[in-house]
Structure 1
Amino acid sequence: MSLKKQFAVTLASVGLGAALIGGGTFAYFNDKEEVNNTFAAGTLDLSVNPEVVFDLDDMKPGDYSIRNYQIENNGTLDIGKVYLSTDYTVVDANNNNGSEDLGEHLFVEFKWNWDNGTIPVFNKSMAELKALTGSDRPNIAEAYFAATGTHLPPGDLDDIIVGISFRDNGADQNVFQGDELKVKWGFEATQTEGEAK
């Protein structure tokens, strides 16, 4: 065999051996990095103070009363809306109300105290308020948004003025003598709309 053929066979043998040893793999540069993510949900936390706003006795047609209470955003998220739910029961002292509802004669006026002024929120009878459900309920934060263009931010503390009046309708309201209206108000805070983060 010539020297040239021997060299070619040797070269082929070395190439085959290298391929078998390498297993057909090849080397390349690489770099790895990690990204850690945290997705934490915020909180909605509305507090109302005091818990009892009205405790009135001996009301008569024509009487009215005004009280203040505070709402505070103790959460970490803006509060978009604060819905007011109303429920009540009538204690008919003489069992003579018939179809009459004391809630139709007691009117509620909410005002938002803004920079020592007041912004009306609503003026409705207890019966009208009780009939409202879902998103038809009064949003008492609406006045804040109308005045500031912003929602209730975390840490925000605001005064609400509430007036109650026993409307004198000019007719006989004697059936309500001695009666009581036990009212429960619920405040439901909702978030603002989602946004890009």
Structure 2
Amino acid sequence: MSIKKKLGMGIATGVLAVGLIGGGTFAYFSDTEVNAGSFAAGTLDIDVKGNDTNNAIIKVDNIKPGDTMTRDLKLNNVGSLDISKVLLTSKYTVKDAKGDNKGADFGEYIKVKLINKDSGKEVIRETTLKKLSEAGETDLLRLLSASVNSALGSGKSINLQVKFEFVDNNKDQNVFQGDSLTLDWIFDAKQTKGEER
């Protein structure tokens, strides 16, 4: 066989092979399937219920040294995620009626007792409004950890009581006559740690 014939035969064989390879790809079965996924974030939602007007922790007038006021406070986890911390930040402002409290701070004379109502009224913290405010954040769940789980589960609640006392120091406290104190308690809920899902 001549070289031209051998060369022509080789080219023809190559073209046939390419044609078979190209045509062969259309002969296989195929199947396509879509597997959809989704991500939905949970919700972190702490609801705090006081028992005074407008759900406030306390609203009281005409107090005098020696008066005590006990109020209920309920922490409700109304979100879908567990809460690992409930941080309480206390802030207050004093309106001095006479304009001269002589360096005395009304918040220093308001004693605060935080009481775990769910565990037989155990006192979990006793301080003054001034010290509580200066302390920054107070982790209520950590204070309660001896009597409750370390987390506040979704749909669960904790019942607290707060006992306030206008401390009578057995001295002249006339500088506080007519004064008022506005109290803000901020509750900041934190999620539990992430986990393998």
User: Smaller-chain TM-score range?
Assistant: 0.7 to 0.9
Distance 2:180 2:15 in 1: 102
Find 2:127's aligned residue among 124, 129, 133: 124
Distance 1:188 1:161 in 2: 18
Q: CA deviation at 1:106?
A: 0.5
Following superposition of structure 1 onto structure 2, how do residues 30-45 of structure 1 map, counting pairs within 5 Å?
32-45=32-45
Q: Which residue of 1 aligns with 2:62?
A: 58
Letter in 1 for 2:107: G
C-alpha RMSD of the superposition: 2.8
SS of match in other structure, 1:114: helix
Q: Quick check: 1:146 aligned with 2:146?
A: yes
Unmatched tracts of structure 2, length 5 or more: none
Q: Which residue of 1 aligns with 2:76?
A: 72
Give per-residue Cα distances to partners, 1:8-54, cap 9 Å, x unaligned. Answer: 99975663331242466864777654432212111011111132122
Following superposition of structure 1 onto structure 2, how do residues 1-197 of structure 1 map, counting pairs within 5 Å?
12=10, 15-22=13-20, 27=25, 32-50=32-50, 51-115=55-119, 117-133=120-136, 137-197=137-197
Q: CA deviation at 1:77?
A: 0.3
Distance 1:9 1:138 in 2: 91
Give the total of aligned pairs: 189
SS of match in other structure, 1:56: coil
Distance 2:165 2:139 in 1: 21
Letter in 1 for 2:41: A
Give per-residue Cα distances to partners, 1:128-150, cap 9 Å, x unaligned. Answer: 122233xxx11122244332334
| % identical aligned pairs | 34
Contact 1:102 1:176 in 2 (8 A): yes
In structure 2, do the counterparts of structure 1 residues 86 and 148 end up closer, same or farther at CA, with 3 Å as the change threshold?
closer
Unmatched tracts of structure 1, length 5 or more: none
Structure 1 stretches (4+) deviating beyond 4 angstroms?
8-14, 23-33
In structure 2, do the counterparts of structure 1 residues 29 and 165 end up closer, same or farther at CA, with 3 Å as the change threshold?
same
Letter in 2 for 1:102: F
- TM (norm. structure 2) is 0.82
- TM (norm. structure 1) is 0.82
Letter in 2 for 1:174: N
